Amino acid sequence: MKRREALLTGLAALAARAARAESLPFRLTEVAPGIHVRQGAMAEATPENADAIANTGCIIGDSAIAVVDPGGSLTDGERLLAAIRALSDRPIRYVVQTHFHPDHCFGAAAFLPDGPVFVGHARMPGAIAARGEYYRQRLADSLGEAQAGRPVVPTFLVAVESSFDLGNRVLDLRAHPTAHTDNDLTLFDRRTATLWAGDLLFVDRVPSIDGSLLGWLRVLGDLEAVPAARAVPGHGPPSVPWPAGAAAEERYLRVLEREIRDLQARGGTIEEAAATVGVEERDNWLLFDDYNGRNVTAAFAELEWD
Ligand SMILES: [Zn+2]
């Protein structure tokens, strides 16, 4: 094929991908009065899904709106913005990022024209400095430069706890010790007793450990004590009852801890662990084979030093 033809074919393929991404339904579900959640696809990032694989959405107060997790790509963020604008014309005053993973954050730039305050864990800027360009390049390789988006560094940083008011609607923010990542932030809406858990809560999709297994179990214990009626998971249905909705994740994480400790006690290797630990959980989770081995490998190293 001549070079120009190859280029045109490539462009046509990109356009077709973009059209498919645009044609995905974008639906916000109101899980409690004023809390709207878009359920992410149970998949890895692809050009077809525009990395719309995490739960995102917004909380609408009497005078302003907070976006929670601005989407997995610029395309996803732009679609979220359009869906929010179809609900309300109140100002978007805050964009809260629950942690720095691309599927939750790379739509952030779509909200820059509204001039909101970007909120994140105090360790999030460091995570962006360490991994931002790597994530951006990886997403650009998959979705194309135009669609990928980029991180926006938060300036409202939460080291322990903080809160803000959207107009008769106070949201309490809590920064957690290392668990899913080293920069996990949760929100609690006092008005509806709704906990927005980000990726500290996976439902149906197998959890991925990018922080600490033991830390996650501790943080999960803290969160289970939050007097919430429901929680919004980072992946899974738009909302689940709380704390019952955390039971499967806690069971999975405890299985990993127990089986790795048993294996280490009898001198088993990390290869043996990766092949055997957690396998009885396989049928309980989507994308199990993509993440369980990695989780076990990470947790094995952690527990070896515990
Ligand atoms: Zn995550």
The residue that leads in pLDDT, 306 or 67, is 67
Q: How far is the CA of 9 from the centre of ligand 1 (A)?
A: 35
Over residues 84-103, mean pLDDT: 98
Judge whether residue 127 has pLDDT over 80: yes
Q: How far is the CA of 277 from the centre of ligand 1 (A)?
A: 22
Task: Please indicate, yes or no, if residue 146 is contained in any of the structural domains.
Answer: yes
CA 72 – CA 69 distance, rounded (Å): 8
Q: How far is the CA of 51 from the centre of ligand 1 (A)?
A: 13
Q: How far is the CA of 278 from the centre of ligand 1 (A)?
A: 20
CA–CA distance from 275 to each of 94, 269, 292 (Å)? Answer: 44, 10, 9
Q: How far is the CA of 54 from the centre of ligand 1 (A)?
A: 8
Q: How far is the CA of 41 from the centre of ligand 1 (A)?
A: 14
> Which residue is listed with tokens 């980029």?
150
Task: Please indicate, yes or no, if residue 297 is contained in any of the structural domains.
Answer: no
pLDDT digits (tens, 9 = 90+) for 151-167: 999 999 999 999 999 99
pLDDT band (50, 70, 90) for residue 19: very low
pLDDT digits (tens, 9 = 90+) for 227-268: 999 999 999 999 999 999 999 999 999 999 999 999 999 999
What is the amino acid identity at position 103? D
Task: Please indicate, yes or no, if residue 192 is contained in any of the structural domains.
Answer: yes
Over residues 175-195, mean pLDDT: 98
Q: How far is the CA of 169 from the centre of ligand 1 (A)?
A: 27
Q: How far is the CA of 11 from the centre of ligand 1 (A)?
A: 32
CA–CA distance from 213 to each of 178, 180, 216, 280 (Å)? Answer: 9, 8, 5, 18
- Mean pLDDT (the chain) is 93
pLDDT band (50, 70, 90) for residue 21: very low
Task: Please indicate, yes or no, if residue 293 is contained in any of the structural domains.
Answer: no
Task: Please indicate, yes or no, if residue 158 is contained in any of the structural domains.
Answer: yes
Using an 8 Å Cβ cutoff, are 185 and 175 in contact? yes
The number of domains in the chain is: 1
Task: Please indicate, yes or no, if residue 282 is contained in any of the structural domains.
Answer: no
Task: Please indicate, yes or no, if residue 160 is contained in any of the structural domains.
Answer: yes
Task: Please indicate, yes or no, if residue 22 is contained in any of the structural domains.
Answer: yes
- State the pTM of this model: 0.91
Q: How far is the CA of 237 from the centre of ligand 1 (A)?
A: 16
Residue partners of 232: CB distance under 8 A and separation at least 6: 31, 35, 37, 55, 57, 68, 194, 195, 196, 197, 201, 238, 239
Residue 106: which domain range? 10-246
* Residue 3: per-residue pLDDT: 53
Q: How far is the CA of 199 from the centre of ligand 1 (A)?
A: 5
pLDDT band (50, 70, 90) for residue 12: low
Q: Give the CATH number, domain containing residue 197.
A: 3.60.15.10
Comparing 10-19, 202-211, 277-286, which segment has the lowest mean pLDDT?
Answer: 10-19
What is the amino acid identity at position 22? E
* Residue 25: per-residue pLDDT: 75
Over residues 170-175, mean pLDDT: 98
Q: How far is the CA of 265 from the centre of ligand 1 (A)?
A: 31
Q: How far is the CA of 85 from the centre of ligand 1 (A)?
A: 26
* Residue 148: per-residue pLDDT: 94
* Residue 269: per-residue pLDDT: 96
pLDDT digits (tens, 9 = 90+) for 221-235: 999 999 999 999 999
Token pair belonging to 86: 């179809």
* Residue 1: per-residue pLDDT: 43
